Each structure stands twice: as C-alpha cells, then as structure tokens.
Structure 1
Amino acid sequence: MDHYIGTLWRRTHPSTYGADMTISPLVDAPTLISELGRFIPLDASVLLPGQKGDPDAAFMDAHLPGAQRFDIDVFADPESPLPHTVPGAARFARLMGALGASEESPIVFYDGRGSVGACRGWWLARLFGHRNARILDGGLDAWVKAGGPVEHGRAVAPDATVFRCRPRYALLAGADDVRHALERPDALVLDARSGARFAATVPEPRPGVRGGHMPGARSMDWTRLVDRNGCFLPRTGLRHLLAAAEDRAVIASCGSGLTAATIVAGLAVAGYGEAALYDGSWAEWGSDPDAPVVTGGDEHE
C-alpha cells in the first residue's frame, strides 16, 4: 500500500501557478463539440451513496465519441480500507497509459450528468502532474442537449502509451493537515456534504461513522455550486459563495473524497486558485474515535 503524508498547501498569488491556472478547468458542450478531436474523453461517472444505477452499463448505452471509461474505484488504492483512496503513482500511470493518455495528452473528464466524478478525475490528474485536463460542464446530458453525437457499445481499445507522473502531493491533505488548518486563521476547511449531515440531523450513510463535523469547518454543500442541470454557476456566483476562501489556504473535505473535488474545481473556476483535498474525508475522520466532532449549526456563509 502507498502511504502519503499530506502537506498543507500554502496559497500563493495565482500568477505563480503557471499559465494553466489562468484557464478555467471547465469546457462547455458547444466548445467541446467543435474541438473534440483534440481531447481524449474519459467517462468518470460515479454513484454517490443512495444513488442507483450502473455507470458501466450507462457508458455502453451512450458515450462521447472515442471515450474510455475512467472508473473512480479502479483509479484507487485497492488495499486501502477507505473508499476510492488515491492510488500510488505507479498504478495511476499504468492505468492512464492503458487509456492511451500521456501526461501531456489533452483530456476531458465527464459524467453522465453533472460533474462529480469528472471533478475527482480532473483533481487526480492534476495531483499526478497532468496540466491539460478539463471538465465537461454539465456532462453527457449537456453534450446531447447541444447536439453532440454519441457512440454505443464497448469502447475501442486505444494504443497504450506512457504516462509519466510528476506528483504534486501538496494538493493531497491528510488528517494531520486538517487538524493544523483548523487551528489557523489563514486556513479554511470546507465541507462539501449536505448541511443536514454537517449538523448531524440525519445519519451518515456509512455504518460506524459518526455524524457531525470538524470543529471550525464550514459547510459548503457541493450542490450549491451547480445549477439544476448540473452545470457550475457563473464565476461571479461562485466567487460570492466561496468568498471566505480568498487569501486563505483551503482544504476541501466531504464524505469520501468525491464531492470535495467539486469544491476544488469551483475554487479554480472562481479564480481563487488551487486547494488541497482531504482524501480520507469524513469516512476517515468520523470513524476515528479520537478525532474531535461537533454537531449542530449549518455553518455555510
């Protein structure tokens, strides 16, 4: 098993990120229709707790032309007791190479609807050093509504290539990083779970996990960042919702590391730069009897 020690990411001026961080991670469907030949489409559709369906079967029913299936639970550490934990660099490189993607290949991640899995895929790609990945805003639904063509059946196996990882583990936070951040006025922990789960007025979906939140964390239900069609809000709306993140080091958390990536992507779209993601999230924190937990109060701003 690979073990990582997350390092609390220190926010710097966006100009230090390089040119790629001045570009929104999103691409809208009409733009992608005109430029699809430039990208390798990866279907990262995933089910959240309580959702029903079969992402693999849905891929067979319809997918973007030339798309490959990016299974979040395959791009994970198979030895971890936690769900879809970040894989080791060697595993990630092997799996990406098998999809025909190098570290420089233009990639677009998408979901059937919305972008929860796509945001996680995009974040994983950036974690391992890829800087040319995008998220299809609104997913396959938006693509079809814009008149984009689809293919059916199994994906055509691509020619394998080599993906060279350049890990950026400062984008990956651990529990100790979260504890440190909660004590600092220049840091912020945003929790992407629902306000009800944050306040512990409903039970957690995973057995053995306490309800509540980390002392000092703020609720930022990921669904507030998107509209009813699963598209991200305009930049101005995101900047308003995420204003507390300005000039602060941010760690995003959620139930198991999925929807936290929507916050990370939302911060990038809003122009607030990069944030770290607590991969263990509440599945780890809430099951640790020594981790401090408080209940009540939906503390979003």
Structure 2
Amino acid sequence: ANIADVEAAMKAHEPMLVDSRPPEQFQGKTKTAAVVRAGTIPGAVNLPAQEIMLPNGQGMIPEDQVKQRIAAAGIQPGAAAIVFCNNSYLASSDWFALRAVAGHEKVLLYSGSMAEWTRHPDLPVVNGR
C-alpha cells in the first residue's frame, strides 16, 4: 500500500488500518527516531507484533492464540486490512499473521509506515486507544 491508499482507508474506514507497533507507540507515549510525531493514524487498531511472536523471536505463538489476538484487536474475520508500523519491519509479522494464519485475503503492507506518514505535517496523527 502507499500513502494514498492509507489516506483513502482512513477516510472510508476500510480497509482496516492495523498498527503493529507496541502499545506505547500506538498510544503516542513513545516513538522511535524514524518517526517525526508520536501517535498513530486515525482509525487504526493495535495488533502489536511482539504479542503474536514467540519471546525469542523465532516464530509465532500457536495459531489459535494468534487468531484470539487478532479478534481481541477488533479485526473481524476476513476483513481487508492495511498493516503498518514504524518502517514496515514489525508490520510484516502482522501481514503474515492475518494473511497466512488467519486467512484474510486482502491484506496490504504500507511500507512507508509511520516514518513516511509523520513526515507530512498535513497528515493527521492521534493517540491510539
């Protein structure tokens, strides 16, 4: 996905926007150096990549638990989504979880992620809930 796809999704409320970053970044409490402004894209839900990965980073938690975390994030079964993070590293895990584990057919990765989004002062950033 590109920035125009994300803008359209934000305005139309579909596909869903899925922020893969830790809750503290989603909530605007912290940010990485790659991100200019703390927070997330309006309307995004949070599916932290580290919560679906094994603690050692060598794979994902069991399939049923991945699906539970997806549901807990408010992502409906089969929903189209655009996943993002700071620079697409974490989002790739959510992309895989939604696509390969949960069977969502329409999942895009916004490679520019928050690093690109926050460089544009006219694009909104909010504190996620």
- Structure 1 length-normalised TM: 0.39
Percent identity of paired positions between Structure 1 and Structure 2: 31
Match of 1:184 in 2: 12
Contact 2:79 2:104 in 1 (8 A): no
Task: Name the aligned partner's letter for residue 266 of structure 1.
Answer: A
Q: 1:255 maps to which residue?
A: 86
1:77-116 pair list within 5 angstroms:
none
Could you tell me whether the CA contact under 8 Å between 2:80 and 2:105 is conserved in 1?
no
Residues 252, 296 of structure 1: alpha-carbon distance in 2 compared, 3 angstrom cutoff: closer
Equivalent residue, structure 2, for 1:279: 111
8 A contact 2:84–2:113 mirrored in 1: yes
- The answer for the alignment partner of 1:160 in structure 2 is none
- Take 1:263 and 1:252, find their aligned partners in 2: how far apart are those partners? 7
Q: CA deviation at 1:239?
A: 1.3
Residues 1:210 and 2:42 are matched in the alignment: no
Kindly tell me: are residues 214 and 201 of structure 1, through their superposed partners in 2, closer, same or farther at Cα, counting changes over 3 Å? same
Q: Which residue of 2 aligns with 1:246?
A: 77
CA distance in 1, matches of 2:66, 2:53: 9
Alignment CA distance shift 1:259-1:294 (3 Å) = same
CA distance in 2, matches of 1:274, 1:190: 13
The CA RMSD over aligned residues, in Å, is 1.7
Contact 1:186 1:247 in 2 (8 A): no
Once the two structures are TM-superposed, the CA of residue 295 in structure 1 deviates from its matched residue by 1.8
Letter in 2 for 1:236: D
Q: How does 1:150-165 map to 2 (within 5 A)?
A: none
For normalisation by structure 2, the TM-score amounts to 0.86
What is the CA–CA distance in structure 2 between the aligned matches of 1:264 and 1:215, rounded to whole Å? 19
C-alpha contact 1:186 1:249 (8 A) present in aligned 2? yes
In the aligned structure 2, how far is the partner of 1:221 from the partner of 1:279?
A: 17
Distance in 2, matches of 1:198 and 1:191, equals 7
Unaligned segments of structure 2, at least 5 residues: none
Secondary structure of the residue that 1:183 maps to in structure 2? helix
CA contact (8 A) 2:13 2:43 kept: no
1:184, distance to aligned residue in structure 2 (A): 2.9
Match of 1:291 in 2: 123
Specify the code of the residue in structure 2 equivalent to 1:257. Answer: S
Q: Distance in 2 between matches of 1:296 and 1:179?
A: 17
Amino acid aligned to 2:42: P
Q: Could you tell me whether the CA contact under 8 Å between 1:239 and 1:271 is conserved in 2?
A: no
Report 1 or 2 for greater relative contact order, CA contacts < 8 Å, sequence distance ≥ 6. Answer: 2
